[in-house]
Chains A and B, each alone.
Chain A
């Protein structure tokens, strides 16, 4: 199959998935969720007030129109206004994206580099005590809940030892660094466990292939085999793993941002969840789903560029 045809078909498949995502969001937030007007007005609401509020929020329109609204918002990013702050949601997203990215992007890049290097080392010494201990450390790191990391790190490193800012944020390039340093470190520690394990598995999957045996038979050194042959082939699952993680960078780090007072998208989402601000939660869900879908298309197309065998299927 021609790559353009493949890419076109892959993009076409986005439509039913996007409609499906909107359908799930519609069912969850508009159809079966408890009446939001009851939550907003409290226990002593009368029917007339509820009617008025429903009209104001556009909840008295037909279900089909409400569904279309969500589908439209996936393309126009016009999510309406927040129920609690009355702000335009798209403005909130624009303001929040910057601070979120200052935390997630450096953390993501550093974590990627560290994990890849560690995984290559571990794969090079596979089967030795070094390998076993490294895997055990990864598993141990993954077995601690993320909230415990945040709480302990904030208490000990920031509060007791005063090495980092406890909470807060400042706009502008050098100003934000002290505020995002600790969240970044926690993110890196959180992601090293699963990342190293995944990269190690992927590399070890390749190590037992026939071409590696051929390379060894040719007399190539183990280092050349690992870095030139194995890493190149292991790149496909690694690229997938990395690209598919990017949409979650946009969403920000939910818990980290709220604990360290960073005014990013994660913090906005968490506040919206706490105050039952449906439009904001819905907007963040739509936004992240759209980002996920777009990036999975990019991954699939990248795949065919890197590995010509995929196209034949």
Chain B
């Protein structure tokens, strides 16, 4: 009788302090991090603006002439106007749509390629592994910018080409990380248990191992996202960027001719808009790594 009581006494607190998963821990430590919360809010605001412009609620009339050519910033034109007298503010807002979509689509493409190849290589090993390692070693031997340019050449101009060119050049790092992590996981007990229960290779890999390496994907996602936004500028400068709609890249590119005439506001507006969101992604990426990477626990 006494024994039962003690067992109950032990059992109750255990139930109260139910152990938290990695995700709960991560979420809580993210919410405690002031910088991370601010960054997430900033990104949410940008995403919201991008959605509003995509559906035409704001900045739908960005192409309209609202004033004289190259009007300096004033109360009438908050960020000034461009060569055709269009509002730079409207163009900057509209540019959020391109930036967010470029970041998102690029990161999704990179994650799909990187996770798939990395998982297959790490899980099956042998010849498949050798082939995939060869493939990404080869890819990463070619400098990023040359590969980007070559792929953009082939795909031509336009938004789709930008997505694909950036997506196809951003997967190697994730692939390498996922491969190494899947290798570490594939012989763990939980995978053996899944095998004993009759789970096939694909089920073990995608249902059991992948969720356990997902935190690395999330960390990498925010990194790829902001790199893609920055790379869009270089593509625009090379004349391989977005056509027929405003993007921060084309606005910065336009500035190379405008600056000599003292027109700095288009460059300033686009740079500032990009700076804030990229900074937010950088800080969030650091916070995510601190929150999600168990190896870093306990370190400052």
A residues with a Cβ closer than 8 A to B are: 16-17, 20-21, 23-25, 28-29, 32-34, 126-127, 139-140, 142-148, 151-152, 154-155, 159, 204, 208, 247-248, 251, 254-255, 259, 269-270, 273-274, 276, 281, 284-285, 288-289, 292-293, 296
Contact B233 A145 (CB under 8 A): yes
Q: What B residues does A292 contact at CB under 8 A?
A: 141-143
**Cα distance A155–B267 when bound, in Å?**
12
B residues with a Cβ closer than 8 A to A are: 134-135, 137-139, 141-143, 145-147, 149-151, 153-154, 156, 226, 230, 233-234, 237-239, 252-253, 255-256, 259-260, 264, 267, 270-271, 274-275, 278-279, 282-283, 286, 298-300
Contact B299 A208 (CB under 8 A): yes
A288-B142 CB under 8 A given contacts A17-B134, A20-B135, A33-B153: yes
Contact A155 B264 (CB under 8 A): yes
A17-B275 CB under 8 A given contacts A33-B153, A281-B146: no
Contact B275 A143 (CB under 8 A): yes
Residue of A nearest to B231 (CB): A145
Q: For the complex, would chain B's binding face be called helix, strand, loop or mixed by DSSP majority?
A: helix
Q: What A residues does B283 contact at CB under 8 A?
A: 139
**Cα distance A152–B272 when bound, in Å?**
13
A151-B267 CB under 8 A given contacts A17-B134, A24-B138: yes
Interface centre among A16, A34, A273, A274 (most CB of B within 10 A): A273
A142-B233 CB under 8 A given contacts A151-B259, A285-B146: no
Contact A148 B252 (CB under 8 A): yes
Contact A21 B138 (CB under 8 A): yes
Q: What A residues does B226 contact at CB under 8 A?
A: 143
> How far, in Å, is B3 (CB) from chain A's closest CB?
43
Instruction: Please pick, from A17, A143, A146, A151, the residue contacting B141 in the complex, using a CB distance under 8 A.
Output: A17
Residue of B nearest to A254 (CB): B145
> How far, in Å, is A263 (CB) from chain B's closest CB?
19
Contact A144 B271 (CB under 8 A): yes
Contact B286 A148 (CB under 8 A): no
